[in-house]
Amino acid sequence: MANEEDPRLLVGCCGAYCKTCKVLNEGACQGCKLGYGNGERDIGKSKCKIKVCCFRDMKLMTCADCPKLDTCATANEFYGKNGYKYKKYRQAIDFIRRNGYARFVDMAVGWTGAYGKYEEK
Helix (H, G, I), strand (E, B) or coil at 11: strand
Q: What distance in Å separates the CA atoms of residue 52 and residue 59, rounded to the nearest whole number?
A: 9
Percentage of residues of the chain with pLDDT beyond 70: 91
Tell whether the model's pLDDT for residue 3 goes beyond 50. no
Tell whether the model's pLDDT for residue 39 goes beyond 90. no
Q: What distance in Å separates the CA atoms of residue 54 and residue 93, rounded to the nearest whole number?
A: 12
Virtual torsion, Cα 17, 20, 26, 28, nearest 10 deg: -30
